[in-house]
Structure 1
Amino acid sequence: MDRTEADIAVTDTLKLPVTILSKLGFFPKNKSKRVLIKIIYLTVLPAYFLVTVLQFMNMERDMSQYADNLEIVIAGVQILRKVMTLIYREEDFKELIKEMKDLWNPNECDESTKAEINSVYNIVLRLQRFSISVSLTAAAVALVSPLFGKPLPAGVWTFEGHNVLYYFMFVVSGLYVVFAGFCCTSFDCIYAGFCAEIIVQFKILCYRLKHLAADDGNIQENELNYSVKMRKYINQHKRLLKFVDQFQSLYSTIMLVQYTTVCSLCCIELYAAME
């Protein structure tokens, strides 16, 4: 359902992804659960990726196998980076979300500005729902892929005769597919939510600056009131710039890792397809 004027709230664009991440164990409320999540994610995931990397040792000269397995390795790098960010920079996420709650309310703008803001929110909300749906579909396809001859839901299998390890990898691979899909998608949806809020807040600031003189009537007669409002808007601008800096510091490394790994994977996939 699209947003309407009555239900605008600055954190609506974060509700779905934050809820999913909370279901996956992130943003826990008690300390013991926080420690348990660290132990689980930072032991099981690296162990799975280590076995995946070792698969390269037994591969024949088949670029398609290399590409399939490399997809999991590169995805593992991205997921581990995002998981570590969610675990070790949890307070930074909470601070940004808390900061969003204290930002300006779009309902104070005129109808045309509210319509623009609603369109931004609606696009992000639709994109989030679409991304989650695609992730769910992709995970379902990966989970049923072993029924059609694929050894694992994700990656390849070259350790013939190691049945116990195979069953471990089979189970973890299925869990990994579901976890990776929802974790990465939710993480990216939070990114989109923050971007949308930054756009909206600067639109509100522009609206208020544009109507500053009109709201105050005669500027000369209301010079004090005008100055007070101008200082308020300048402080809000500084606050938004600080918010953007915090947002960039939180996501800059992740975006760099994602860009470099995806570019490398695209080159390898293209080479494998042309062989």
Structure 2
Amino acid sequence: MQITSNKKVLKQQSVKDSVNQVNVTSTDTSKKIINKKAVKASFSKAAGHYDQFADLQREIGHQLFDLMPVNVKQSSSILDLGCGTGYFSALLREMNIKASLTCFDLSPQMLQQTAQRKLTSCQYVEGDIDAQPFTAGQFNLIFSNLVLQWSEQLSLSLQQTHHALKNDGNLCFSTLLDGSLFELQQAWKSIDSAVHVNHFLSKEQVLTAVKLAGYQQVKIFTETRIKKYPDVISVLKALKGIGANHVHNRNNKQTSNRQLLNQLELGYQPFKNQDGDYNLSYQVCYIVAQK
């Protein structure tokens, strides 16, 4: 059972049916080549107006909050891994006002936005999710909303979170799965064979990465969310507005040619709904794991 749009039904796969059946000797196929300098520049450019376009990120982050066990919300040392503008950093602070809070992001401009929230007992750390600087057992809780899809190798990034957690500490993260942005990908395919949409991991690859990182107690939830836009330009602006318009393995030039946009509009026609809206689907995965 999956959800579409705003229905509040999640598909949960039990630990027995998922993580425990992953062969830890299997090949980790999660490795990707990502230009982190370009990703950093893209998100830094979007920092000032990110919150205007981040409704999907807020929806998914609130769902991740709802999935966290009650006892996790009393964590005394918390890491917001990929904090962005600090929207959820602020909620994590409200969740436990006595906890120490670390806000970590690749973009200094995003950290500046977070700092403007003037969160108490908070430190700001600039860095890469694939090269985390934290010490062993530093945190009780690591929260990460729609960030880990930017990891070059998810299993190694998750190993670092495992290292940074105290015994019995918890990792709660959301990420996107393959099939996300399907409509946009297919619309581009009607024009050329170039890469226009990033590659996302499958649910099985995410589970393998979690297991290889050393997590044993794991719950996974999946859902489909569909956003609606009035035209294809709005689709592209929504991605650009949150800095997610960088595409790996491609020269990321702006799409400004009117003829090209008209072609993209035509390619998108099969994915318009009955009201004439342009659908854009996101396959979302939530992981709640204990060290």
Q: Which structure has greater helix proportion? A: 1
Q: Which structure has greater strand proportion? A: 2
TM-score (norm 2): 0.21
RCO higher in structure (CA 8 A, sep ≥6): 1
